[in-house]
Amino acid sequence: MSGAFMNTYHRLPVIFARGEGSWLFDINGKKYLDLGSGIAVNCLGHAYPPLVRAIAGQAEKYIHVGNYFHSDVTGAFAEKLVASCAGMRNVFLANSGAEANEGACKIARKYSLKKYGPGRHTIVTLRGSFHGRTITTLAATGQDKFHRDFGPFTEGFTYIPGGDVEALDRALDRKTVAGLLIEAVQGESGIIPQSAELIAAAARLCAERDILLMFDEIQCGLGRTGAFLAFEQYRDESGAPVKADVVTLAKGLAGGIPAGAVLAGEKAAGVFETGDHGSTFGGNAVAAAAGLVVLKTVTDPDFLAGIRRKGEMITGIINAWKHPAITETRGRGLMIGVDIDREAWPVLEEAVARADSAKGRCGLLMLSAGPRTLRLLPPYTISDGEIEQGMDILKELLDRQKKNHCGTNGS
């Protein structure tokens, strides 16, 4: 374990050397079933052959030409992305989620400035949201714990409680607000889907007041919830599909290669003009080649149906246990939050520590989302057998923890 890193992450004590499908192998050859996908990044699993071929094939041709020129593969990726996201007209390619959300905030501010003049620059976000780690996207993130130590933050962000339609109505002041940024299903704070009422009200209020409705689909998008984009599962007050003005993507977009994107619909598509925005690595050719494989896969309706079925399989298994350690399970496709009656971190540690080649036992890789929520974001390619195996281990861990718990409290 290297001491060369800055101390920014609480890492589990395992060093990985290789992956294949839903599995990772550590430097001692121990095996781990991956239900976290590197935080929704490896959406097609590890070493997925079509993805590996696309990446290697592109690297053999060229890796990067830069944004002063056109690239065949980056152009094809942009076309496919815009065609896949209903209602979107064009795209800016970035490298990460924070960068994509920065782009979205810039678009909202300039859209409003050009049309209404200065003073209408506020961006409203939700409590519990997570939008990134830059100074501006930290300001956009509606959680106080992220607003320490690094101020002053970018001005012009306000937060409303999730699910509070009246607060939304009050916050969306037509004189001061440029945009509303929402995760249809909040990831980092515990897999919290927004209510149908909130999204429908957001769609109406933003349209009435000419405020850009921006969906952060960085974690919940790209098939994760069983729809191509999570907000597509919501309806407006007339029952029609909700229309976004801006959509941001990253995490799984290139199956593990860094990539981010800001997409703009009708209203926002003309906002950025030459020189307004840029990114040296954005639209990198290897990322684009990988992204084409992801998009081809996750836009297939049968593949999306498979994600929904596997998600229901997982929540079905968990609910059938009626386990005393589980207080609530929330799932949308393969984005699942399991609230437990104890700290999540020790469960994650035990899940890794149980790996033992001699005893033929594998480890289990999960994530947390908040102190007492297990977050499951398995690769879309996980098999039914792997799901059953993973759920058996999860149950064993919760049983075991319960025993330890009882042990320390009494006998």
* Ranges assigned E (strand) in 271-317: none
103 binds ligand PLP, rule: CB under 6 A: no
- Provide the 3-class DSSP secondary structure of residue 153: coil
Among 54, 88, 107, 218, binds ligand PLP (CB under 6 A): 218
Q: How far apart are CA 364 and CA 376, in angstroms?
A: 11
- Tell me the one-letter amino acid at 298: V
- Smallest distance from ligand PLP to CB 307, Å: 18
97 binds ligand PLP, rule: CB under 6 A: yes
* Ranges assigned E (strand) in 250-398: 260-265, 326-332, 335-340, 363-365, 367-368, 373-376
Q: What string marks each residue from 132 to 161 as x (binds ligand PLP by CB under 6 A) or -?
A: x-----------------------------
| Total residues at interface with ligand PLP (CB under 6 A) | 15
215 binds ligand PLP, rule: CB under 6 A: no
Nearer to ligand PLP, 216 or 350 (CB): 216
Helix-then-strand count for the chain, H and E: 11, 17
36 binds ligand PLP, rule: CB under 6 A: no
Among 43, 51, 98, 257, binds ligand PLP (CB under 6 A): 98
Among 19, 187, 190, 363, binds ligand PLP (CB under 6 A): 187
Scanning 86-94, 146-154, 202-210, 211-219 for contacts with ligand PLP by CB under 6 A, the matching segment is 211-219
CA distance from start to end of the chain: 38
Query: Which residue, judged by CB position, is nearest to ligand PLP in the bound state?
Result: 97
Q: How far apart are CA 24 and CA 14, in angstroms?
A: 11
The token duo for 375 is 């977050």
183 binds ligand PLP, rule: CB under 6 A: yes
Token pair 């890492």: residue: 11
Q: How far apart are CA 272 and CA 110, in angstroms?
A: 8
Scanning 183-191, 262-270, 339-347, 359-367 for contacts with ligand PLP by CB under 6 A, the matching segment is 183-191
- Smallest distance from ligand PLP to CB 383, Å: 26
Contacts of 350 (CB under 8 A, 6+ apart): 397, 400, 401
The token duo for 159 is 């937060």
- Smallest distance from ligand PLP to CB 260, Å: 6
Q: Which of 256, 221, 190 is nearest to 24 (CA)?
A: 256
245 binds ligand PLP, rule: CB under 6 A: no
111 binds ligand PLP, rule: CB under 6 A: no
- Smallest distance from ligand PLP to CB 389, Å: 27
Strand 246-249 versus strand 260-265 pairing type: antiparallel
Cis-peptide into 152, omega within 30 deg:
yes
Token pair 């836009």: residue: 299
Among 34, 188, 245, 386, binds ligand PLP (CB under 6 A): 188
**Residues 67-96 close enough to bind ligand PLP by CB under 6 A:** 96
Q: Which residues bind ligand PLP (CB under 6 A)?
A: 96-98, 101, 130-132, 183, 187-188, 216, 218-219, 250-251
